[in-house]
Chain A
Amino acid sequence: MKKVGNHKSFSKILLFSLALVLSFSFTSNAQDAAAGKALFNSNCAACHKLDAAMTGPALRGVTERHDTAWLHKWIKNSSELIKSGDAKAIKVFEENDKKVMTAFPQLSDADIDNILAYTSQPKEEPKAAAAGGGATAGAQEGGVSNNLVLGVLAVVLAMLVAMLLFVKNVLNKIAKANGIEAPVKEKSLPIWIAFARNQFLVLVSVIVMLLVGAYFIYGYLMQIGVDQGYEPIQPIHFSHKIHAGDNGIDCKYCHSSARVSKTSGIPSLNVCMNCHKNINEFQGDADSTYVEHTKEFYSAEIQKLYDAVGWDKTAQKYTGKVKPVKWVRVHNLPDFVYFNHSQHVSVAGLECQKCHGPVETMEIMRQHSPLTMGWCVNCHRETNVNVEGNEYYKKIHEELSKKYGVDKLTAAQMGGLECGKCHY
């Protein structure tokens, strides 16, 4: 017994140590690549991607194209290598449109080895896509089961009704067979004739109907020209939720003229390209709980942007063939009212969300506020104006405060209700 036990434990130790050695070697490799990834992201990723050309060429498998010693020299100072007349260096330089690569003398040989280890990792299979597919299938199953439950309920109800009718029938038959007559109902006056004969009731109901009708007609007339909730489909799907919400890009990054002009500004496509020159496909797989469409859908929308602005993704160049985008205007004030964005954004310092609502949660842009005069005036009545640090108008502000007997002036008290301020 004892001997056998010893045998077993010996083989166990052997296996265990083998596993340890193997796992150690794996982790050490992984560590190299992981360190390389961090270095790559902070130093190289501004110009290089692994699988697509950017400012510089794609780098996956670069160690197969060039030998490691040469790569070390190139990364540390490529322009020196080109100047020294290295034929290979000159060839690479000319192949890439003579773009100068930044020198990285601060990277140690070990760092560069780590980076090269990262670039020679095989491409990961798109696991996320499979997982996503599974998730959507799951969601569909959920929908089906919900419908199923409802259907079953409906069937059960129908069966109950049928059973009641059947029972009634049977009871009637039994009653007949036993010679019991069911009591016959006396025919009473129909209810509408009784109603028509009571003149007071008719009068009251006519008045009520007129009032209700007037209420609905007034409601209908008052919403003419009010586009609250207007949610048009744009030629290129743009998700404010992803850009302003999840990525936290400031509204004024794209709508920059809201700071300085009357209109908030629809960003020209070069503003999109400030980021989308690099981001050429949807990258939200890792945290895609917040998106409402598939990766393919979003990537196709980015491709629409490239087509419109004339950007060739593979050559990383503008082709010059542009197709202006016909955006659909969402917020539109009538011509007879003047509204200036800069006055509200820069001078008053209002948040965009005050009028436009929670845009950072909107997948499709929607008009949040009614944009009626009553709505404007209401805000002017309620909002206190920050007059501090405005020495030039100090005297006027003091006199206005005295006139209205308040500490803090509202926009209305400073003339925000005068017709001519907005209608002229």
Chain B
Amino acid sequence: MKALYKIVALVGVSVVTTSCFNKSKPNYQFFPNMYESVAYETYSQSGAFKNGKEGQLPAKGSIPRGFEPYAYENSTAGYELAKANLKSPLDSTKIDSKKGTELFNIYCAICHGEAGDGKGKLVKREKFLGVPSYADRPITEGSVFHVITYGLNSMGSHANQLSQEERWQVVDHVMKLKAGL
């Protein structure tokens, strides 16, 4: 009987020690004040602002460094104007077709397809329908840039994922794909 008690005690202790680790809770920290930043970190909470977040919108009317204000508004009229007038500021020396291809494959190819034929993986799996081939649409440099910036119909704006310069690199790749289709 004594041996039985010992076995029970041993099993009990091992269960208690192993069950303490909870996957949904972070582990103990040694000196947490060396782990946590005193300064605001990205996405951290902060009592300094009303909504309690570190991430704040920039003040109205402020322009980030290196940013060029975009003259065309988000409307059908703005789209037509951009389509007719807007030209890429990148000359042939600044065009980085490797980067353009890479960015296109990350951000566009999932719907538009790597060849620009509107047969991306999401379209093939019928998650996202009605993506046109670039060959069927009268697109220009300006209209492509405008649509990446603001989105059109079901396509959302990709302005927060791609900087202006990156968008122009993608535009260049799109026009190359259209010419090749």
Residues of A within 8 A of B (CB): 41-48, 54-55, 100, 106, 223-227, 229-233, 246-250, 252-253, 256, 260, 262-263, 266, 268, 270-271, 273-275, 277-279, 283, 324, 327, 329, 332, 334-336, 366
Cα distance A275–B157 in the bound complex, in angstroms: 11
CB of A104, distance to nearest CB on chain B (Å): 10
Contact indicator A274/B153 (Cβ below 8 Å): no
For chain B, residues 78 to 131, give those with C-beta under 8 angstroms from any C-beta of chain A.
105-107, 110, 118, 121-122, 125-131
CB of A52, distance to nearest CB on chain B (Å): 13
Beyond A46-B130, A262-B42, whether A278 also contacts B154 by CB under 8 A is: yes
CB of B25, distance to nearest CB on chain A (Å): 8
Cα distance A388–B38 in the bound complex, in angstroms: 40
A266 (CB) vs chain B CBs: closest residue? B43
CB of B7, distance to nearest CB on chain A (Å): 16
CB of A311, distance to nearest CB on chain B (Å): 12
Which residues in A have their C-beta under 8 angstroms from that of B110? 247-250, 253
Which residues in B have their C-beta under 8 angstroms from that of A106? 136
Contact indicator A270/B157 (Cβ below 8 Å): yes
CB of A116, distance to nearest CB on chain B (Å): 17
Contact indicator A46/B122 (Cβ below 8 Å): no
User: Which interface class (under 10, 10 to 19, 20 to 34, 35 or more) fits B?
Assistant: 35 or more
Which residues in A have their C-beta under 8 angstroms from that of B118? 42
Cα distance A246–B118 in the bound complex, in angstroms: 19
Q: Chain B: interface secondary structure?
A: loop
Which residues in A have their C-beta under 8 angstroms from that of B129? 41-42, 45-46
A261 (CB) vs chain B CBs: closest residue? B42
Q: Is B35 positioned at the interface, with any CB of A under 8 Å from its CB?
A: yes
Contact indicator A230/B156 (Cβ below 8 Å): no
Which residues in B have their C-beta under 8 angstroms from that of A42? 118, 129-130, 132
The segment from B26-34, B64-72, B139-147, B169-177 that touches chain A is B26-34
Cα distance A274–B151 in the bound complex, in angstroms: 9
Which residues in B have their C-beta under 8 angstroms from that of A248? 110, 121
Closest 4 CB pairs of A and B: A46-B130, A45-B129, A45-B130, A274-B156
Contact indicator B122/A224 (Cβ below 8 Å): no
Cα distance A334–B43 in the bound complex, in angstroms: 15
Interface centre among A100, A256, A283 (most CB of B within 10 A): A256
Which residues in B have their C-beta under 8 angstroms from that of A224? 27-30
